[in-house]
């Protein structure tokens, strides 16, 4: 008969291995809890951002920018007048015929000969008005000649 093999075990070797396994599981658990905590902290930090949130427009700071767009002028005359004003002329005049009719070629020639210092001319309101812009005043004798034929409105500095 053969003898059964007997395995000799050290008295505490099984318990020590189990204890080591338990400790490694605890460390793994501890590491995963720390990882989850760090991930949650990063998520909170990213989602909250660095700026202060406002619930309404009243809490928002006032607009201090220098750009404020102007409303578009309603009529063609206003748009043309704005065009001349945007050129920053010192003098702006609006000429119209006394009878209210359209300007003719002779009227245009009279304007150009009596107001040679006017740099920019714009006809508007179906050729019933002419807007002129200049950095120099029209001489008084020439103004008198123009007033005989045209109604002159001075928009300088308005």
Q: For 69-99, what is each residue's pLDDT tens digit?
A: 777 768 999 999 999 999 999 999 999 999 9
Indicate the helix (H) or strand (E) that contains 154. Answer: strand 150-154
Write down the pLDDT at residue 21. 78
| CATH number belonging to the domain at 76-154, selected among 3.30.310, 3.30.1490, 3.30.70, 1.10.1200 | 3.30.70
pLDDT-based confidence at 6, cuts 50/70/90?
low
pLDDT value for 48:
74
- List the strands of the sheet with 129-134, edge to edge: 120-124, 129-134, 91-97, 150-154
Extended beta strands in 42-135, E state: 91-97, 120-124, 129-134
- pTM comes to 0.55
- CB contact set of 115 (below 8 Å; sequence gap of 6+): 93, 132, 134, 138, 142, 146
Contact partners, residue 83, CB within 8 Å, separation at least 6: 122
What are the residue boundaries of the structural domains of the chain, listed by start? 13-49, 76-154
């Amino acid at each position: 008969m053969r003898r059964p093999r007997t395995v000799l075990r050290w008295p505490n070797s099984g318990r020590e291995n189990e204890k080591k396994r338990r400790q490694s599981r605890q460390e793994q658990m501890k590491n995963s809890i720390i990882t989850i905590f760090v991930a949650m902290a990063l998520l909170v930090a990213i989602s909250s951002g660095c700026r202060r949130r406002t619930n309404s427009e009243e809490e928002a700071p006032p607009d201090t920018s220098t750009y404020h767009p102007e409303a578009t002028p309603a009529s063609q005359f206003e748009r043309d007048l704005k065009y001349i004003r945007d050129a920053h002329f010192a003098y702006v005049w609006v000429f119209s015929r006394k009878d209210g009719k359209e300007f003719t070629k002779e009227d245009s020639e009279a304007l150009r000969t009596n107001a040679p210092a006017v740099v920019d001319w714009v006809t508007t309101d179906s050729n019933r008005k002419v807007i002129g812009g200049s950095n120099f005043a029209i001489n008084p004798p020439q103004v008198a000649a123009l007033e005989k034929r045209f109604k002159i409105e001075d928009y300088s500095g308005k």
